Structure 1
Amino acid sequence: MTVDERARVPRTLRVTAALGWRALVVVAALYVVGQVLATLASVVVPVAIALLLAALLTPAVHWLVRHRVPRWVATAVVMTGGLAVLGGVLSFVVIAFVDGVPDLAAQLTAGVDALAAWLTNGPLHVSEQQLSSAQQDLLALIGDNQGALTTGALTTAAALGETLAEILLVVFTLIFFLQGGSAIWQFLLLAVPSDVRARTDVAGRRGLAALVSYVRATAVVAVVDAVAIGIGLGVLGVPLAVPLSALVFLGAFVPIIGALVGGAAAVLVALVAQGPVSALIVLAIIVGVMQLEGHVLQPLLLGRAVRLHPLAVVLAVATGLLVAGIAGALFAVPLLAVLNSGIRSLRSPTDEHLDPDEVRGSEPEESAPPEPGHDRYGDPDASAIEAHVVPT
């Protein structure tokens, strides 16, 4: 296109076209990356879970290392303690759930009978014949879909083996993250051009510090939510208070959606077991705990390490849920926190000349010192190259 022809095209159109094809390239690249991640989901999801657990457990490992405990011993102690606590909690929850199911089933039966009596004698005046017909239709529906239910059970049994393999991958990856996370990060930095490697190192450490702060604060908030709601359910005598508290604890790691699911389950059980008054009280308790979490706990615990607007959190969770289901909702906010902190660090002039070891939130690691004539990343030092090339 000549200069005269270019002048005939309006500048707005030229700028819009340039932005448009660049946006298409970015969208296409993101689509390809998403397809690759979806294909490797059985590997990507366990590694991401291991990274979240490493962010939660790494401070404990660093504390032991600072007290002169060998790093492999500290890793073994933290891993063993973490697995023991997790196994104990899960066992306690399962046992409490199994013990509470008969009581809940009896109360559910009584609730259904009361509902049927209300439908028959209440303002709707539903006849017993209509209720019997609805029951028969429900049984027929279950019978017609028995094959699908059986197939689903077989699929669940097959998925159980995959889940076990993914759990083992999480444990295996977590061991290496705790043992040599710094070495892994330094290896990944070798793919970055040397002139911006230190800058990228600082931004990465900022992102890691934000991830540690997010996971730690989320764990504390989850414990507070579970304990407060569990005490309220226990005082009201709602069945399955312990399993419901555990559900609230797990749901707290998925912002917005997890709280809604856990709270809805607690309200539903209270409604079935004890009626609408108890359900309204449970709802009030859950709303109060959520207000405490949103206005006190999260601002106090997260502080400036993870500054995310509530709208950004909601949109991130919704996008993650739409793109990758529950896993996407779980990892959306941590990923957003890491990107937000890393990008802010890259744009900050105060971080430009900052030494990576001076970044707040990074902990000292046991690592071998660089070889003579090489920098921290294993590349030849500039002064060594100059001394070798320039004759004296």
Structure 2
Amino acid sequence: MKINNAFKVGLLGGLGVLVALVIGGAVSSLATIITYIAVALFISLGLEPIISWLEKRRVPRWAAILIVLTAFVGGLVGFFFAVIPVIVNQTSGLIQQITDYFQSFTFDEFIDEAQGYVGDWVNLGNVRDDVVAFFRDPENIIEVGNGILAVGIAIGSGVFGVIVVLILTLYFTSSMKTIKRGLYGLVAASKRKRFIEISEQVTQAVGRYVVGQASLAACNGVLSFIFLSILGSPFAALLAFVAFLCSLVPLVGTITGSIIIVATTAFLPFPAVLWAAGYYLVYMQIEAYVLSPNIMNRAVKVPGAIVVIAALAGGTLAGVLGALVAIPVAASILIIVKQVWVPRQNEL
């Protein structure tokens, strides 16, 4: 290939790289907003199957949307006003119990006893003195205070994010048909019908997955609350909430939540931790071999190996959000492969 004007080619190439860097910087700056939009759209697609179910029962779409949104917002408001105060009180009680537990130790005797186990490898007395000296330094106290302030700012940002996601969810849910219609209008008329069919299958798969995962999380939360109440835990509501949140994350969520709950029950009378460990071992088997297959196979028909690979890849690339959306994304890719790629290959 003959290059007539090397300067022009280099200039255009440099401008292309510069534009790519600007676009990358813009996307990075808008990462939080993009995350809010993705989460809101994800929830909206999860509410869409319920709206469609009501429409099949001869409920007008506007009434179905109103019913679903009222129930959704009412549930959130009821949760914040009824459950959050209980969780806050139980969290304070748990922190106080842990503090009292550790304060019950005679620290010097504990250091002497622990020193007998570690031998001469580490001088625990010097470690204790270093820790005390660290917290006596005003600069270190300021650093710790800045860390606490950062945690407070993060909590405030989280509350703001929840409000933004709620507003976007209401908008996306109420105008889902309009959004789809506008998207479909961008496709060439000759390919629009096929595009609409595949898009509807993808959105239905995503919606069914959201409903299925939320059902599994609710099941774990309710059963955990019942079990912990029977066990006599004073933090049943808090730990059930932890079980619910963790179960929203596929694969590792239930295991993580179970470990946290079992570790917390160690502060109860001794047999409690054994009962908790046994219960969650049994529950994880039931969820893995009974609940999850029956619920998720109806939601998204994705082979088990792809579920594991997708969840691990999504978690590695985008953290918790990536793990949440990885399975419906995998289901969407499988639909596109089956509906587009395979028929084209068969025609060659």
TM value normalised by structure 2: 0.76
Q: Comparing 92-101 with 256-265, which one deviates more in the overlay?
A: 92-101
The alignment status of 1:183 with 2:171, answered yes or no, reads: no
1:47 corresponds to: 37
Deviation at 1:185, TM superposition (A): 1.4
Distance 1:57 1:310 in 2: 25
C-alpha contact (below 8 Å) 2:49/2:204 kept by paired residues: no
2:131 corresponds to: 138
Q: 1:114 to 1:313 in 2, by over 3 A?
A: farther
Deviation at 1:189, TM superposition (A): 2.2
Deviation at 1:274, TM superposition (A): 3.4
C-alpha contact (below 8 Å) 2:225/2:239 kept by paired residues: yes
Deviation at 1:312, TM superposition (A): 2.8
Residue type matched to 1:238 in 2? S
Deviation at 1:220, TM superposition (A): 1.4
1:106 corresponds to: 97
Deviation at 1:254, TM superposition (A): 0.8
C-alpha contact (below 8 Å) 2:46/2:209 kept by paired residues: no
Q: Comparing 59-68 with 243-252, which one deviates more in the overlay?
A: 59-68
Describe how 1:155-234 pairs up with structure 2 within 5 A: 155-159=150-154, 162-234=157-229
Describe how 1:337-356 pairs up with structure 2 within 5 A: 337-347=331-341
Q: 1:113 to 1:133 in 2, by over 3 A?
A: farther
The alignment status of 1:289 with 2:283, answered yes or no, reads: yes
2:79 corresponds to: 89
C-alpha contact (below 8 Å) 2:47/2:207 kept by paired residues: no
Distance 2:58 2:165 in 1: 27
C-alpha contact (below 8 Å) 2:115/2:124 kept by paired residues: no
Structure 1 unmatched ranges of 5 or more = 2-30, 353-392
Number of equivalent positions: 319
Q: 1:230 to 1:163 in 2, by over 3 A?
A: closer
Deviation at 1:235, TM superposition (A): 2.1
Greater fraction helix: 2
Deviation at 1:64, TM superposition (A): 4.3
C-alpha contact (below 8 Å) 1:107/1:273 kept by paired residues: no
After superposition, what is the alpha-carbon deviation per residue over 1:103-155, rounded to whole angstroms, capped at 9, x for unaligned?
5523553356459667655894689xx77655554344445533233333444
Residue type matched to 1:180 in 2? S
| CA RMSD in angstroms, aligned pairs only | 3.5
Deviation at 1:245, TM superposition (A): 0.9
Q: Comparing 84-93 with 110-119, which one deviates more in the overlay?
A: 110-119
C-alpha contact (below 8 Å) 2:212/2:299 kept by paired residues: no
Q: 1:90 to 1:136 in 2, by over 3 A?
A: farther
C-alpha contact (below 8 Å) 1:79/1:175 kept by paired residues: yes
Deviation at 1:212, TM superposition (A): 1.8
Q: Comparing 44-53 with 164-173, which one deviates more in the overlay?
A: 164-173
After superposition, what is the alpha-carbon deviation per residue over 1:324-370, rounded to whole angstroms, capped at 9, x for unaligned?
22222232223223323333333465xx9xxxxxxxxxxxxxxxxxx
Q: 1:193 to 1:86 in 2, by over 3 A?
A: same
Deviation at 1:311, TM superposition (A): 3.6
Distance 1:74 1:229 in 2: 32
Distance 2:255 2:26 in 1: 31
After superposition, what is the alpha-carbon deviation per residue over 1:4-46, rounded to whole angstroms, capped at 9, x for unaligned?
xxxxxxxxxxxxxxxxxxxxxxxxxxx9998765432222211
Distance 1:196 1:223 in 2: 41
The alignment status of 1:59 with 2:49, answered yes or no, reads: yes
Q: 1:142 to 1:335 in 2, by over 3 A?
A: farther
Aligned residue among 246, 249, 254 for 1:251: 246
Distance 1:147 1:206 in 2: 55
Residue type matched to 1:84 in 2? G
C-alpha contact (below 8 Å) 1:316/1:333 kept by paired residues: yes
C-alpha contact (below 8 Å) 2:314/2:325 kept by paired residues: yes
Q: 1:148 to 1:332 in 2, by over 3 A?
A: farther
1:333 corresponds to: 327
Deviation at 1:269, TM superposition (A): 0.6
C-alpha contact (below 8 Å) 1:229/1:285 kept by paired residues: no
Q: 1:305 to 1:62 in 2, by over 3 A?
A: closer
Q: 1:103 to 1:204 in 2, by over 3 A?
A: closer
**Max Rg structure:** 1
Distance 2:38 2:233 in 1: 36
C-alpha contact (below 8 Å) 2:255/2:284 kept by paired residues: no
C-alpha contact (below 8 Å) 2:40/2:168 kept by paired residues: yes
TM value normalised by structure 1: 0.69
Distance 1:166 1:115 in 2: 44
| Runs ≥4 residues deviating over 6 A | 31-36
1:359 corresponds to: none
2:16 corresponds to: none
The alignment status of 1:308 with 2:302, answered yes or no, reads: yes
Aligned residue among 227, 231, 236 for 1:236: 231
Q: 1:33 to 1:274 in 2, by over 3 A?
A: farther
Q: 1:322 to 1:122 in 2, by over 3 A?
A: closer
Residue type matched to 2:301 in 1? R
